[in-house]
Amino acid sequence: MCYLAVPTPPMKIKRTDTTHACKQCYRHVFTSIYTQRPFVTLRTSSSRRVSSKITSQCRLRGQVKLHATAVPSVTTSDVEVSNESNEADSRQSTAYPFPDIEAKWQAYWLQHKTFRTPEEIDTSKPKYYVLDMFPYPSGSGLHVGHPEGYTATDIMARYKRMRGFNVLHPMGWDAFGLPAEQYAIQTGTHPRVTTERNVNRFRQQLQMLGFSYDWDRELSTTDPSYFKWTQWIFTKLFEKGLAYQAEVPVNWCPALGTVLANEEVIDGKSERGGYPVVRMPMKQWMLKITAFADRLLDDLEGLDWSDSIKEMQRNWIGRSEGADVTFGIQAGPGSSLSSEAAASGLTVFTTRPDTLFGVTHMVVAPEHPLLSDLCSEAQAATVKQYVEAAARKSDLERTELQKDKSGVFTGSHAINPATGESVPIWVADYVLGGYGSGAIMAVPGHDTRDNEFAVRFGIPVKQVVEPTAAGTSSSAEEMKLPFTDLGVAVNSSNATTGLDLNGLSSEAAKDKVIQWLQSKGLGNSRKNYKLRDWLFARQRYWGEPFPLVYPIIDSATGQLGAPVALPESELPLLLPETDDFKPKGTPESPLAVIDSWVNCVDPVSGGPARRETSTMPQWAGSCWYYLRFIDPTNNGRLIDPEKEKYWMPVDLYVGGAEHAVLHLLYARFWHKVLYDLGVVSTKEPFGRLVSQGMILGEVEYTVYRDEDGRVVSEEEAGAVPHQVSVQDVERRGDGYFLKAEPSVRVSARAHKMSKSRGNVINPDDVVYQFGADSLRLYEMFMGPLRDTKVWSTRGVEGVHRFLARAYRVFEPGMCEDEPTKDQLRLLHITIKKVTTEIEEMRFNTGISAMMEFINGVTKDWPNRPRAALEPFLLLLAPYAPHLAEELWSRGGHSGSLTYKPWPQCDESLLVSDTLVLPVQVNGKVRGTVEVSVNIQQQEAVTTALANANVAKFTDGKTIKKVIFVNGKILNLIVA
């Protein structure tokens, strides 16, 4: 029997008889109490030890039962603090009273709205808009990866407030999407209910960590007042011709009943659920992001983003210059190709028109519109089978460089315009229908993928480019095909076609080929992009409805007219209420069967119409949320122009590198559309972007044994991994070994956190044991913000001890003594270091400087002068705000220190009047003396000889020579 300690009567919690649940399980039952005020006490009458295995596995799995009739009505203030646990690793620290301190100041900040950014602000002051990539509120709550970026932005927000900036630091929720809908299908719970519950959980956790968000600006993409303007932006895209419908190949998942993005498909199955996915043509709404390709590419130059993120966007956009080339077609026997289509030929895009003479075959994508007509009668069945197999692969799988090339001959041929030769036309899945024309001219002598394909299927390989003679060796290795660099054209002349490239550089040959193609009407120069238009529709319920209707132009047949956008007065268009979210087995949204919602009135003609039944993807709401934070309650317009001009662009945007392409590219696209509409005044939304590194799980120590228990190597067949505890391992040199078997080497690795590995760290647990300030401080102290780091609970304990030492330094109280020069020097060295490091977001080294300060105070200060000690709390405040606020308050100050001025470094105090001078006797250091920086040689010798350690080696001896370098060394040469 366990009890929650409250006045009367006690709360009784009975555990089942089947297992001995751990204390952490009981604590999780009271999560809602704990996250508001972490004063939960559980006392157990049992003395039996709880195993660590149960501790890690039994939470929330039914071993704890609450009897509601036995639970009295209590508030969080009724619950007293205590901890009894048989597990050292789950025991709440008592190093300083962080539970009381953190609960107190979290309540204070919320009550006083300390971090609220007023609507009307002093625009003469500088602004700082700091933003996190807002989260999707999942049911599992935060993991320790979330607080890393959030702590970084919070430090910057708190620091800038203290530097006199108007700071905007908001938080919201990217809350539409497939997970909530799938949960609704499985449980019957409406996605809105699930989303609200998850949002509440996330909000409690963020408040528990002390982040200084302006909660008055909180928003969710699911709020009608928000998605009204998401829908409004879509109507503008529609009006400008940037939203259109097209039949495109999509990833259709019958089980999920929706279209999936390429990134949501892994090995032909849905990322969520592992259901089969097929490629099929479907009429979908598209956004013409390709119309902005050049602007998206060129405007990267002025952004304060990492080179790696910029390069990822450049590669995704994939701008290349080349030529369209048209090849004639020789249809295979029994093919259905029309004479008109044969005459039109097969057009391809190439970046290397100079290699036209090296074309030995053509390849079309499985989605190419001419493919079925190109198939000869003999090849039709084989091609059909290949196309069906390709439909089950994602674009990523098809273009993976390491995979074996596959393909099928169509039975038809193409005519190379440069040579007049007939070359076979193949179909292969490494060519994508959405890139270029969906067909390529294959030059296996000068392209790696084409070469692999040609070698696999025995297709000839021709060399038409060789290295330039100047500055390039002619080694056999360099001449080995495929040669993919630029060079000089060879074997590239045909008198019949009148084209001669031999001897020309690759660049000159490109220009000549393009001119020749244009003169013959066979091609033109062109820019091409890898970037595809954005597929902007999902066959789901839980998403923003499209603000479109289709007028019924023939009631007898149900024929629909062109889509019409709803006027702003009819926005937001809300989702209908329904309890049926299940897929219907067809490529239609669950909305399609809700006739009362689908059947509507055309706002233009007043006649009958039907609504668009697809919904927008989750990306829609996250494309522009940074703007709504600036003006979250404006019902009349998307954003007030004056507020937008003051706050934009975002000064610091922090989020994971996994969003480097899609979210960031989509947001930049929408921002440019809004710029063209005059809604925003900046061309780019995010001035500075920082991506935090991944946090890996704790190091796992593993020994591999065979079935007989003998130690074997990891690579050996039948090797079975056996995890061992860190206590059973010792490090020797650069390796780890078993203590019990010193010859057995242990594998030590850190892995990405995942539920399947059981290495996920719950921030609630860390906060319970060591406090929110310790978690914040540790995540910044682990290493540089942008680096991948390995979690260590011992590391958390280390920073917690630092905070406890800081608490004890201030606990006796400060005196009003005049500080010494040394005390002020240490303070101002710390001010300078912490300020410099916080400006550069090198938080780990800033924390190191604060640790050195506390160490110096503890070791060298006989008293605690307020003037030399209290400013340290202002340096600590952005990192560990709860403790800093409490100690500031105990120092006699009222209210919060949030807006107190940041300490200024006095450079004159950084120069010391004295220095520590090493003293050598006959070249060996025998002691040190503290002397004036301006000391002369004779005085230095006299001071050194008075040192007891030096005197041991000089007494009674004659000094033959003195070597003195002021500030460096004093060396006494004695007989």
Tell me: the pLDDT tens digits for 517-567?
999 999 999 998 989 899 999 988 999 999 999 999 998 898 999 999 999
Average pLDDT, the chain: 87
pLDDT at 776: 98
173 token code pair? 């929720």
Q: Label each residue of 348-407 as H, E or C.
A: EEECCHHHHHHCCEEEECCCCCCHHHHCCCCCHHHHHHHHHHHCCCCHHHHHCCCCCCCC
Nearest to 814 by CA among 892, 894, 896, 897: 892
Residue 335 has pLDDT above 60, yes or no: yes
CA dihedral 635, 639, 640, 644 (to 10 degrees): 160
Task: Identify whether the C-beta of residue 553 lies closer than 8 Å to the C-beta of residue 561.
Answer: yes
Pick the CATH number of 914-974 from 3.20.20.70, 3.10.20.590, 2.30.30.90, 3.10.105.10: 3.10.20.590
Long-range pairs for 337-343: beta carbons < 8 A, 24 or more residues apart: 337/370, 337/373, 337/374, 337/412, 338/373, 341/370, 341/373
Cα 417 off chain centre by: 48
Residue 862 has pLDDT above 50, yes or no: yes
pLDDT at 402: 58
Collapsed DSSP state (helix, strand, coil) of residue 668: helix
Residue 395 has pLDDT above 90, yes or no: no
pLDDT in tens, 693-716: 999 988 989 888 887 778 877 767
Residue 59 has pLDDT above 60, yes or no: no
Nearest to 230 by CA among 176, 293, 299: 176
How much is the average pLDDT of 360-374?
Answer: 94
Collapsed DSSP state (helix, strand, coil) of residue 211: coil
Please give the residue that has the higher pLDDT: either 136 or 60: 136
Q: Which band of pLDDT confidence, cut at 50, 70 and 90, is reported for residue 581?
A: confident
Residue 412 has pLDDT above 50, yes or no: yes
Contacts of 527 (CB under 8 A, 6+ apart): 319, 320, 321
pLDDT at 60: 30
Task: Identify whether the C-beta of residue 760 lies closer than 8 Å to the C-beta of residue 132.
Answer: no
Element (H, E) at 314: helix 307-317
pLDDT at 91: 87
pLDDT at 69: 27
pLDDT at 270: 86
Residue given tokens 């004056």 in the structure block: 642
Q: pLDDT above 70 covers what percent of the chain?
A: 88
- Positions of CATH 3.10.20.590 in the chain: 914-974
- Positions of CATH 1.10.730.10 in the chain: 763-910
pLDDT in tens, 221-276: 999 999 999 999 999 999 999 999 998 878 888 888 777 766 678 778 887 788 98
How much is the average pLDDT of 819-848?
Answer: 97
Cα 74 off chain centre by: 41
- Positions of CATH 3.90.740.10 in the chain: 319-468+481-528
Q: Which band of pLDDT confidence, cut at 50, 70 and 90, is reported for residue 401?
A: low
Which segments within 97-156 are labelled E, that is strand? 127-132
Fold exhibited by the domain 763-910: Isoleucyl-tRNA Synthetase; Domain 1 (1.10.730)
Please give the residue that has the higher pLDDT: either 506 or 436: 506
Nearest to 193 by CA among 202, 206, 181: 181
Please give the residue that has the higher pLDDT: either 406 or 28: 406
Nearest to 248 by CA among 262, 263, 268: 262
Residue 30 has pLDDT above 60, yes or no: no
Q: Which of 74-88, 128-142, 342-356, 473-487 has the weakest average pLDDT? A: 74-88
| Greatest pairwise CA separation for the chain in angstroms | 123
Q: What is the pTM of this model?
A: 0.81
Please give the residue that has the higher pLDDT: either 587 or 937: 937
Q: Which band of pLDDT confidence, cut at 50, 70 and 90, is reported for residue 203?
A: very high
Q: Which band of pLDDT confidence, cut at 50, 70 and 90, is reported for residue 588?
A: confident
Residue 63 has pLDDT above 60, yes or no: no
Considering the domain 319-468+481-528, what is its CATH architecture?
Alpha-Beta Complex (3.90)
pLDDT at 260: 77
How much is the average pLDDT of 572-598?
Answer: 88
Task: Identify whether the C-beta of residue 911 lies closer than 8 Å to the C-beta of residue 188.
Answer: no
Q: pLDDT above 90 covers what percent of the chain?
A: 67
- The percent helix, strand, coil of the chain (3-state, each to 5) is 35, 20, 40
Please give the residue that has the higher pLDDT: either 143 or 716: 143
Collapsed DSSP state (helix, strand, coil) of residue 907: helix
Task: Identify whether the C-beta of residue 880 lies closer than 8 Å to the C-beta of residue 767.
Answer: no
Please give the residue that has the higher pLDDT: either 624 or 399: 624
Q: Which band of pLDDT confidence, cut at 50, 70 and 90, is reported for residue 90?
A: low
Task: Identify whether the C-beta of residue 886 lies closer than 8 Å to the C-beta of residue 877.
Answer: no
Per-residue b or e along 478-510, where b marks 16 or more CB atoms closer than 10 Å to that residue's CB: eeebbbeebbbbbebbbeebebebeebbbeebb
